[in-house]
Amino acid sequence: MPEDLTESGADLLAMTADIVSAYVSNNPLPVSELARVISDTYAAVSKLQGAPQTQPEEKSAPAVPIKKSVMPDFIICLEDGKKFKSLKRHIGTHYNLTPDAYRSKWSLPSDYPMVAPNYAAERSRLAKAIGLGRKAAAPEPEAPPAPAPAKRRKIGIKTT
């Protein structure tokens, strides 16, 4: 530890003392290990103080111009320039982005497609062909049940 304590050095010492005292109060520690714990903690705290602050990422340029990224048969990813029929899975697995986060990152309109237009039209045509998207037809009314046969009257034998 430095001999000449500046204001930041005094702060480091105070933080180290707080951390070590909290650790020792909750964990059994032999006296012989105390010096090592203090020096390790001081080193870790001083590294943290000297670590550069992370700057937010600068806005990078898209791999292709935004206007040329949507073609009839494919969409080009602005992150890496690869062609896809559907972007959602690619941007989710490779860049950990949702479609909304992707759109906001590249300042795209909210109606920017995540699926190639021709692919979407083909899927829509197939869905309509098998009847998806229509309301179920009203079931035909069931015929009223046939009246039950009349019960026979028991004729008992009179005993007098």
Report the candidate in 12, 34, 13 with the shortest Cα–Cα distance to residue 23.
34
Percent of the chain exceeding pLDDT 70 equals 88
- pLDDT digits 0-9 by tens, 41-57: 888 888 887 756 555 55
Q: b vs e for 36-64, b when ≥16 Cβ sit within 10 Å of the residue's Cβ?
A: ebbeebbeebbeeeeeeeeeeeeeeebee
Question: Is the per-residue pLDDT at 81 higher than 50?
Answer: yes
CATH number belonging to domain 66-129: 1.10.10.1550
| pTM, to two decimals | 0.49
pLDDT band of 1, cuts 50, 70, 90: very low
Burial of 107 (0-12, 13-18, 19+ CB in 10 A): exposed
